[in-house]
Amino acid sequence: MTTLEQFVSSAETVKLRLSVDGHALTALNRTRDDSFFQSPILSLCTVVVAKGRNGDLKTADVPTWVGATLTNYFDGSAVIRRQLDWSLDYRRRCADALVFLENLELVKIPGDGIRSIQCTERGQRFLRDALREANEAGVLVRGLTKAFRIVEYHGLELF
């Protein structure tokens, strides 16, 4: 069983239905900068950030927090983060990731005017299970969690 298959099977244990193209993941590993625009990694990072922010994550702030976490995880490049902050395509893909996560019920966005994102119990269980995995998916989730904590500790810097 490959790491991807193990990751998908762990998602099935919490009754999630995921459709992941193995060829797309292989292509993701080939390019570093393009990974910021891939929906699976944006979605996974969004869940990590939503859980870490404990309901204090506004929908408008998702691209900033996710971009800061991803750039810290991959290489800490402020140049790439600046480019992401101004990328409409990146912001659109972050919105797509939010819709995806909300449909899977991993996050919820209450109907109040604040539009704060909250990690659901299902999302917390998914992350908890992923953190325990001894495979590439577990390493990725642990790395994203560590990168988020670093960003949260140092704060978001305005460029």
DSSP, residue by residue, 16-38? ------HHHHHHHHH-SGGGGG-
Query: Across residues 74-100, what is the average pLDDT?
Result: 82
The count of structural domains within the chain is: 1
Report whether pLDDT(15) > 90.
no
**What pLDDT digit, counting tens, does each position of 101-130 carry?**
999 999 999 877 778 999 999 999 999 999
Please check whether residue 123 is in contact with residue 101, taking contact to mean a CB–CB distance below 8 angstroms: yes
- Quote the CA–CA distance of 143 and 134 in Å, as a whole number: 13
Report whether pLDDT(30) > 50.
no
- Quote the CA–CA distance of 16 and 32 in Å, as a whole number: 28
**What pLDDT digit, counting tens, does each position of 31-64 carry?**
445 556 778 889 999 999 999 998 788 988 999 9
Top-confidence residue, 75 or 18: 75
- Quote the CA–CA distance of 23 and 27 in Å, as a whole number: 6
Domain of residue 80 covers: 3-154
DSSP 3-state assignment of 117?
Answer: strand
In a domain, 102, yes or no: yes
pLDDT score of 137 = 87
Please check whether residue 43 is in contact with residue 62, taking contact to mean a CB–CB distance below 8 angstroms: no
pTM beyond cutoff 0.85: no
Mean pLDDT of the chain: 81
In a domain, 159, yes or no: no
Closest C-alpha to 52, from 153, 157, 140, 130:
153
Query: Across residues 1-26, what is the average pLDDT?
Result: 63
Strands across the sheet with 57-58, in order?
Answer: 57-58, 116-119, 107-108
In a domain, 42, yes or no: yes
In a domain, 122, yes or no: yes
